[in-house]
Chains A and B, each alone.
Chain A
Amino acid sequence: MINFFEVKETNDMIQKENLDVRTITLGLSLLDCIDSDLSKLTAKIYDKICTRAQRLVSVGKEIERELGIPIVNKRISLTPISLIGSSAAKSPEDFCQIALSMDKAAKSVGVNFIGGFTALASKGTARADQLLMESIPMSMSETDRVCASAVLGSTRTGINMDAVRFMGQIIKETAEKTREQDSLGCAKLVVLCNAPDDNPFMAGAFHGVTESDAVINVGVSGPGVVKTAISKVRGESFEILCETIKRTAFKVTRVGQLVANKAAAMLGVPFGIVDLSLAPTPAIGDSVAEILKEIGVEEVGAPGTTAALALLNDQVKKGGVMASSYVGGLSGAFIPVSEDQGMIDSVEAGALTIEKLEAMTCVCSVGLDMIAIPGDTPESSISGIIADEMAIGMVNQKTTAVRIIPVIGKGVGESVEFGGLLGHAPIMKVNPFSCSAFTKRNGRIPAPIHSFKN
């Protein structure tokens, strides 16, 4: 029988160390909603979401009550809308209509974000992908809960530099369109390389076409739990440090698996994957940066940070994989700046730069995330930052992403407040030298030699 100390350990994790399940995400296929008539299409999308996701939030709350663990977000991911809307939507305004129906449905069922307003352009940009990307500034400014993404490259296809160049422009336009809210639209917009079909985390979640009609994916969290566990082995060898992280990750992930199984059974939807993640929040003690400091770097960005992060990321996976029957999504430590108080502190201390963050993204999931940059950063520099990150993903056969916010009207030394889980961020310096001659080139960067495995 369960003993007193086991109960106390679990409850201390929940109450004192911010252990939670970060998200239950219901993936929904919209392939059966496709119609050539826009109004019929938007009505079908709205109806399908409202019918299939009707009980998602109440089931999530019931599990929270029964297990005594917070489930922070209940979310929905949809089949990439560039596919669903390709027949009906003939203009960016038409795609915006689809975003509006997604937003209305999300509000109706009570989820806080809905993902899948996505263009799949990793090799070439289809007309629908182009129109959807063009509609992003408008769609992000007119909706509250819709998350947009664009897949711009992969190890197998190379990098679609035409789309990279275009998304630099779109990110800037989105920032302008939402300037009244400190360019918040860009916090709901991400570009990806090697995007997974089953990611439960926003803003990059979409329900890939390889998936079944509906699926439950769960993202776990728990940086505070890992931090507390390793603080008890301060000064010990790497072996003991790694074992401690693995054991902790195992326990955290088992809870995610339990929640996923329960949610799947209660909703009558198959269980998909558990995403093994360390996802921070702005709450004190819920920080990946604090783990890195506990491992032994004075501030994030100090020499040794990348190695410490590589170690952390790998142990989280090793512990987590054993705890779940199916693992997927992004799976790894997230290093968003605005959503992690320790990261913010390190930027403000002058220890952490975009260049160091880029190096860190080579060894963890996912990429340059929630980074505020000056509003006057040229589009070409944003495209260059995206290209660099896509190249890291392409060459290392991993998912990488860029969610960067050029805050219109603000510069280095100022900060921006997004509120809630999105947090606040100091504006970070961007390298002032130009790459416009590079990003102006047309076409795509070919797939790397090691992608030819057949």
Chain B
Amino acid sequence: MIERTTEKLTKQDFASDQMVKWCPGCGDHAILSAIENVFPQIGYKKEKFCVVSGIGCSSRLPYYLNTYGMHGIHGRANAIATGVRLFNRNLSVWIATGDGDSLAIGGNHFIHIIRRNLDVNILLFNNEIYGLTKGQYSPTSPMGKVTKSSPQGTIEHPFTPGELVLGAQGTFFARVIDTHPKFITEVLLEAAKHDGTSVVEMLQNCVIFNEGAHKYLTDKDNREDRQLILRQGQPMVFGKNNDKGIRLGQNGLEVVSLGDDNVTLDDILIHDMTRQDPGIHLMLAKMKPPHFPIALGVIRSADAATYDQLMDDVIATHIQSCPIHSVDDLLNSGDTWEI
């Protein structure tokens, strides 16, 4: 159990004294602010947070938060954090990583931490570009994207992070966007509450190398028609006039207009993030323009045993059943003889 705080913590308790060196206008500033807002709300003592990162712009995050923290090496944040959390179960572990760090060089660790369902929170900053190396395509860059390392456009099929998370048997997946900091705070609280690996994909704008990557979603005039904000137990309704919804048809999800063809609110899917079967969650995670809105919010939050708890249980049981309780016991176990 992580020790809870008795004092009232504020955003200021988590602000570091270091100069934040992200570019002016970078989406990371809003995300940092949302994290500073959410940590005091979680209720743990301020010494109980540990932020681990890999390499990339997003991975500078630990330096900008006044917590325990480690800035690791490229792709290995999830592996390092595994050791932190497994060894010290009294820490709330947060991982700052990006689309290059966790989906390219560290892809292996990403799928395995999720598969094990270790109780950590992964903040996956997705700007669809390599920023710190100055503008090469990433595993989430859309097909055909022209970058410095793909002057003729990429010829790679991009990952949809949610699809990867659910494919690895993820128990929590959410998606937020840097233009909506209040909503980030709300979703991060849900992530913190979830026992198991929580992955929050943070769609983030790189002003220098990929300006407008998420413009389709953030465009002021059309965003209500292009975003589906998911809320537990609520019908999946969206649109400027709240007149569109998601229905489960014979061939999967479909967008319907309320009132057309006698479509009523009863036809619209109710969001249940807790259902064990990930089928609908996968369909929601994969929804893409132009035919679908992009789903934001907690897509999946299902219960499953966590690796850390199972490891503790195995150790506790073995302490009861095994007669060896000290190294002296061990050294003298089995066949020994006097000379």
Q: Do A and B bind each other?
A: no
Which residues of B come within 8 Å of A, CB atoms? none
